[in-house]
Amino acid sequence: MKIHGQPYRTIWLAQDGWRVCVIDQTRLPFRFETVTLGSVEQAADAIATMIVRGAPLIGATAAYGVALAMRSDPSDAALDAVLALLGATRPTAVNLHWALNRMRVRLVGLKPRVRAQAAYTEAALLCDEDVALCRAIGDHGLPLIREIASRKPVGERINILTHCNAGWLATVDWGTALAPIYRAHDAGLPVHVWVDETRPRNQGAALTAYELGAHGVPHSVIVDNAGGHLMQRGQVDMVIVGTDRTTATGDVANKIGTYLKALAAHDNSVPFYVALPSPTIDWSLSDGFSIPIEERAAREVTHLSGLNEDGDVASFRVVAPGSPAVNPTFDVTPARLVTALITERGVAPATAEGLAALFPDLARGA
Ligand code: MRU
């Protein structure tokens, strides 16, 4: 995607060919700054502090984290240690463990002296594949938007609600939930996106609004509780969200608040789609309530980040001093509330049979 007219991915190699550059997403939308990661510790810190975030990008950063580690110590002991270090950064997105396992399988049988080169090659391949998967999600999601457009008077806007950020900033490029929206906009369909602000960290207001704006996609930011009201008034044609982990049976973990949107969509007969690449499917789980839910610091609830009067990025307290806060950051939407899953291989019912029919090769190994 383009920022200030420049094509960007969210992760790339520095000029020196070994350090790893990412966009500092804690500074967006106010500052576009990049960070250069030169060690596995820095990569782990970037994931844990959410300089990078979004399930596919967490996996891609972890893959490069392994490469950074192998460059300084390619021993078996170091490989085990970095897999453990990176694996402990964030608990919910399964893409992290998928990427680390892929790196382990690629490296474990190699002689230590060739591991660093192989790790960089594998991390780059994983990133390229992520771009292709997200692009394919866009291809398969586009007809769903076209179908809604075909039932409306020509030119009438198609209102799509999304939660959190599942755009190109959450992946290597294109995004998951936003990929069909970008494709529809580029194809000339009059899409308009309702962007949930997505407390506590406001990934919708800060990141989704930023990237839709940069691409020229019409959108409006709404508070998290407005979605149900808009659905009751017929102002939402469809919902598309991403996911951090989807079970083999189609239950979906995504940013906190997703479940309430699914309930409201169900009550108002609004189609509720979840877009995901196959590395987000946890084939070992058949029950969404087994998905580990990340609890983050209470400070994310008690404080908001924004611009102060001097134009600097600062954080502001918004909760009564002394009041405790609790911060579960993901929730589980049961498969029965999901209209369908949009994947790189096509659109599947959110059922074990639906997923297995699209991914017989992956489901069989589960
Ligand atoms: O806590 P975050 O910002 O990493 O959460 C991101 C989400 O919940 C996204 O919806 C999800 O990762 C899907 S990304 C394509």
ipTM, two decimals, is 0.98
Q: What is the pLDDT of residues 13-41, one digit of tens each?
A: 999 999 999 999 999 999 999 999 999 99
144 pLDDT exceeds 70?
yes
Instruction: Take residue 261 and report the two structure tokens written for it.
Output: 């949107």
**Which residue has a Cα nearest atom 5 of ligand 1?**
54
**pLDDT for residue 303 is more than 80:** yes
> Which tokens is 156 given?
């009438």
* Strands of the 158-162 sheet, one edge to the other: 219-222, 191-196, 158-162, 238-241, 272-275, 340-343, 346-348
The alpha carbon of 170 and the centre of ligand 1 are apart by a number of angstroms equal to: 6
Measured by CA distance, the residue closest to atom 6 of ligand 1 is 54
28 lines ligand 1 (CB under 6 A): no
Q: How confident is the model at residue 199 (pLDDT cuts 50, 70, 90)?
A: very high
Distance between Cα 139 and ligand 1 center (Å): 21
pLDDT the model gives residue 232:
98
The stretch 175-192 carries a mean pLDDT of: 98
The answer to whether residue 3 scores a pLDDT higher than 80 is yes
Q: What pLDDT score was predicted for residue 192?
A: 98
* 202 — pLDDT class (breaks 50, 70, 90): very high
Which helix H or strand E contains 122, and what residues bound it? Answer: helix 112-150
pLDDT tens digits for 318-335?
999 999 999 999 999 999
**Distance, CA of 101 to CA of 301 (rounded, Å):** 33
State the chain's mean pLDDT as an integer.
97
Task: Using the CB atoms, write b or e for 69-95: b if 16+ within 10 Å.
Answer: bbbeebeeebbeebbebbbebbbbbbb
197 — pLDDT class (breaks 50, 70, 90): very high
pLDDT, residue 242, reads 98
Q: Is 247 in the pocket of ligand 1 (CB under 6 A)?
A: no
* Average pLDDT of the segment spanning 259-284: 98
Share of the chain above pLDDT 70, in %: 99
Which among 130, 196, 244, 282 is annotated as catalytic?
Answer: 244
Query: What CA–CA distance (Å, rounded) separates 244 from 96?
Result: 10
The annotated binding site is made up of 53-55, 90, 203, 254-255
The residue-averaged pLDDT of 160-173 equals 98
CA 254 to ligand 1: nearest atom:
8
Q: Which atom of ligand 1 is nearest to the CA of 175?
A: 15
CA distance 121 to 219: 38
Cβ of 342 less than 6 Å from ligand 1 = no
Whether 207 lines ligand 1, by a CB cut-off of 6 Å, is no
For the cut 70, the answer to whether the pLDDT of residue 12 exceeds it is: yes
CA–centroid distance, residue 207 to ligand 1 (Å): 11
Q: What does the pLDDT read at residue 365?
A: 66
**Do residues 330 and 92 touch, judged by C-beta distance below 8 A?**
yes
Residue 366 pLDDT greater than 70, yes or no: no
Query: Is a pLDDT exceeding 80 seen at residue 247?
Result: yes
CA of 87 to the centre of ligand 1 (A): 17
Report how far apart, in Å, the C-alpha atoms of 160 and of each of 50, 95, 184, 209 are. Answer: 26, 26, 11, 13
The verdict on whether 244 is a catalytic residue reads yes
Higher pLDDT: 365 or 77? It is 77
pLDDT of residue 231: 98
Q: Cα–Cα distance between 212 and 218 in angstroms, integer?
A: 7
Whether the predicted pLDDT of 305 surpasses 80? yes
Res 311: pLDDT: 87
Known binding residues for substrate are 53-55, 90, 203, 254-255
pLDDT over threshold 80, residue 364: no
